[in-house]
Chain A
Amino acid sequence: MGLRYVLLRVVASAAMAVAATLVVFLVAHTVPADPVLAQLGDKQSANPETVARFRARWGLDRPLHEQYGIFLARLARGDLGESIASRRPVLDDIRQYVPATIELATVAGFLTIVIGVPLGIAAAVRRDGWIDHVARFLCLIGVSAPTFWLAFIVLALFYGGLEIAPSPGRLDVGAGAPPHVTGMFVVDGILAGDWASARNALAHLVLPSVVLAAATIGIVTRTTRAAMLETLGQDYVRTARAKGVAERGVVRRHAFPNALVPVLTLAGLAYAELLAGTVLTETIFSWPGLGRYTYQSALAVDFPAIMGVTLLVALMYLAINLAVDVAYLVVDPRVARR
């Protein structure tokens, strides 16, 4: 699995993302909802002239193959068209919502790894000890507590009750965003040397990212534990122990690397899922992210937005899966066979 393979995968990924848009395009057009009738006011939608004018504006009056052709032609020019619901270029929408989501997903992903992996290892090493039981209990809560419920509880506790967390939203009320570079306020704040903004944005990230991480930590902890238990029982680990290698060394050098492959796989999938956005957490924390945008676009049958989001989400999934596959090599070269 060399550089050539990775390059091939990159090219294949781009092609697949476009293929995904074709499938989604066909699938979306089977939904018996008309975006123009859904968007227009009651009176306007009874006026055939108005309806025809709006249909034409988004090319919805053309045959399907032509519509998709137009999409491809625009895509080649780096244009995703105009959203039917927001009436601005889909790219502008994405440019606003994606950085907000990346920021949130990355902090949540970070929390997941730094808490979930060590907790899973500790639970496996001290199996049936107190740490195993506590970890299990926390994971079960994190996974089975409904997201909005958890979100509301932490908001009620830390924002409403203890008054130590900031209000929902990305920044304090009336606080202007730092100069736009990446759209991620923490990063932009640091780049501009605007520490107040960076700190403000980071403070607003804490609660929503903890809520998001709650579920993924549960999954990563439990699968890390399971994978560690498998490897701790393997012959080569026993051999290492018999040779007198210290327990820490056994865990770190022998058991952990093999356990890491499935953990990486799941962590990658979880991160991709976080990047695709999460509707409920975004709603409660008034987070202008990709999850709500996707949700609203799907519900409005907003074809240009749906296609744009599909392309983007597909690319993110493909990129992360590729990164995970490459990481297998780094972690455990024996897995490679090409």
Chain B
Amino acid sequence: MMRSASTLRRCALTLLAALLALAAGSSPRPAAAAGKTTLVLGVDISDARTFDPARQFEYSSPITMKAVYETLVTVSPGDYGTVKPLLAESWKLVDGGKAWEFKLRKGVKFASGNPLTAEDVKFSFERLAHVKDQPADLTENMGAIEVVDPQTVKIAMADKNQPLLTIFTSVSYAVVDAKAVMAQGGTSAKDAEKADKATAWLDTHSAGTGPYVLTGWTRNQEVVLERNKSYWRAPAAFEKVVLRHIGDGAAQVLAVRRGDIDAALNLSPDQLESLAKDANLKIVSAPSLDYMYMTLTSSADLNATLAKKPARQAVAAAIDYDGTIKGLMGGHAIRPATFIPIGLGGSTEALTKEIGYKQDLAKAKKLLAEAGVPNGFSFKLSYGKASIAGTSYDLVSQKIQSDLARVGIKAELDPMDQATLRTAYKEGKAQAVLTFWGPDAMEPYLWAQPSIGRVAKRVHWTPSKDIVDLVNRAGGEPDPKKAAALYREYERMLIDQANYLMLIQPVYRVATSKAITGYQLTAAGWQVDLYDVKPAK
């Protein structure tokens, strides 16, 4: 028997040694390799479902879209109100303000070598509208498209009092190579919803003018981009870019520390804290336009007390906003006054200080008395199991619960899976919800309008005609300053109404290797412009 035990031990040791030897045989680190010709991002791309501009509407995919496609106009980080040229050199309102006319940049070629023309713009935008997938809703205000000459395109507005130019900055309005896409079965005709067959090809190839071209995509594994050799500006800095799927933050920490990836995109505040001391890494940050907010219903059928305005205002006055941001986000977040995020439509941190909610427990008690519930009341707070900038709704909801308890308000937490939550919320069946808002395009009206439209319906609030008029006037106002003044008045009314409490507008942070520079985060939907990223000298 002793012999068999030692045989066993020998076998076990041999097996272990074999495993270790095998594991050790991995190849050198691509991210740190000499000459720095490949850029590797560690990112959760499990949400990616297509790279067809007419269909893509996900969270992580715009990083890729922005690298391989370009739009007529764009915005830069931190200055989302100013529209800047990209494929269009200039533009002007024509036909009495009913249409925009764009002059295209000369000498721009697609990666295929085909020159960019007004026909490509018309094809791309009509295809976006007619494929009728998710982003098609962004074409609501787009009218007829007319090719004036090969370098000029005119796009009508369905309603001249509603925004369109700012919406053209969205990656959904990418200009695609019409010839290349048609060769793969693409069409922009009215029946494109059924007739278009180009998506499968566009998922692993690109047909754009951007600095990189898409050369491969394996779901939940990686996206591979290569340099576009015929790019119209200086060629991109890297021969190859790999978006490597690493679904777990802790694993991203290990990978970026080791130098296997140049940037780790999905880290929690505490994980970033642990990387702050690493001499090879740098943490870059930028405020986002995303935010987490809480809704309170106005429906007496759902909660008779919440339906009373003073009760909702009492909730608003009891929350420790600063403590939540400081404690749970490590201070890396800001908070808008109400539905328009800081950075757009005149919304600033100063404005929040001036007109936004503040914690004031005495006021909360007074309001509770006014609502006829001096000893407090209870309501159900629903949320999904997810997180924003690495901080879970679970934590935020428990913090709010403990804040409200101080004035006798009892928030019964009701966690559920996201699909059930979204269904309950969108159908207006929840008393209070903790949820998230992200940008469609850099246009404040796209926030203000839903707050008095579809979102108001979900909280069973019927906005007055005054506030509706106000928002419509602001939406059609071409002067950003005047629009901001109108939005401010709307914001005051919304705050008094107390159906929406904004909690956290995170400052997004990414850990990057010091081997690269120019990694500038942006809130403009695409998170980062890979063209700007270069090897460090």
A residues apposed to B, CB below 8 Å: 31-35, 37-38, 40-47, 50, 53, 85-87, 96, 111, 114-115, 118-119, 122, 125-126, 131, 152, 155-156, 158-160, 163-177, 199-200, 202-204, 206-207, 210, 247-248, 283-286, 288, 292, 296, 299-301
Contact = CB atoms under 8 A, between A and B. Distances in A.
Contacts of A114: 11, 15
Given A46-B426, A177-B218, A159 B137 contact: no
Interface string B425-469: 011000000000100100000000010011101000000000000
B537 to A, nearest CB: 24
Contacts of B450: 42-43, 46
B398 interface: no
Interface of B: 1, 4-5, 8, 11-12, 15, 19-20, 22-27, 30-31, 38, 40, 46, 49-50, 55, 57, 132, 134, 136-137, 216, 218-222, 224, 240, 242, 244-248, 250-251, 254-255, 257-258, 260-261, 417-420, 422-424, 426-427, 437, 440, 450, 453-455, 457
A158 B20 CA distance: 9
Contacts of B417: 33, 299
B219 A288 contact: yes
Contacts, number: 178
Contact of A47 (B19, B31, B137): B137
B195 to A, nearest CB: 15
Contacts of B246: 167-169, 286
A334 to B, nearest CB: 26
Contact of A168 (B40, B255, B422): B255
B250 A87 contact: no
A155 B15 contact: no
Contact of A44 (B1, B137, B419): B137
Given A125-B1, A160-B257, A203-B23, 8 more contacts: A33-B419, A47-B137, A96-B219, A167-B26, A169-B222, A174-B242, A248-B4, A292-B220
A33 B49 contact: no
A96 B5 CA distance: 42
A159 B254 CA distance: 8
B49 A165 contact: no
Interface centre among B5, B55, B261, B424 (most CB of A within 10 A): B5
A118 B11 contact: yes
A192 B27 CA distance: 20
B134 A160 contact: no
B419 A160 contact: no
B250 A284 contact: yes
A98 to B, nearest CB: 13
A84 to B, nearest CB: 10
A206 B27 contact: no
A206 B19 contact: yes
Contact of A165 (B8, B23, B27, B40): B23
B26 A200 contact: yes
Contacts of B1: 125-126, 247-248
Contact of A35 (B15, B20, B240, B419): B419
A50 B137 contact: yes
A172 B420 contact: no
Contacts of B427: 34, 37
Contact of B419 (A38, A125, A172, A247): A38
A203 B26 contact: yes
Contacts of A119: 8
A111 B22 CA distance: 15
A203 B22 contact: yes
A175 B4 contact: no
A33 B30 CA distance: 43
26 contacts: A34-B423, A40-B134, A41-B134, A42-B450, A43-B440, A43-B454, A46-B457, A86-B49, A87-B49, A114-B15, A122-B4, A155-B250, A158-B23, A164-B26, A165-B26, A167-B26, A167-B255, A168-B248, A169-B245, A169-B246, A173-B244, A203-B23, A284-B247, A286-B248, A288-B219, A292-B247
A301 B417 CA distance: 10
Nearest to A40: B134
A167 B50 contact: no
Contact of B247 (A87, A172, A174, A286): A286
B220 A42 contact: no
Given A42-B454, A126-B5, A284-B250, A37 B222 contact: no
B26 A155 contact: no
B155 to A, nearest CB: 21
Given A33-B423, A166-B26, A284 B12 contact: no
Contacts of A170: 221
Nearest to B2: A126
Report which residue of B30, B221, B258, B440 has the largest number of chain A beta carbons within 10 angstroms of its beta carbon: B221
A174 B260 contact: no
A204 B22 CA distance: 9
A164 B23 contact: yes
Contact of B418 (A115, A174, A299): A299
A96 B23 CA distance: 24
A285 B251 contact: yes
A251 B401 CA distance: 62
Contacts of A37: 422-423, 426-427
A174 B30 contact: yes
A169 B244 contact: yes
A160 B258 contact: yes
Given A155-B251, A285-B251, A202 B22 contact: yes
Nearest to A196: B27
Contacts of A166: 23, 26-27
Given A34-B423, A174-B224, A286 B251 contact: yes
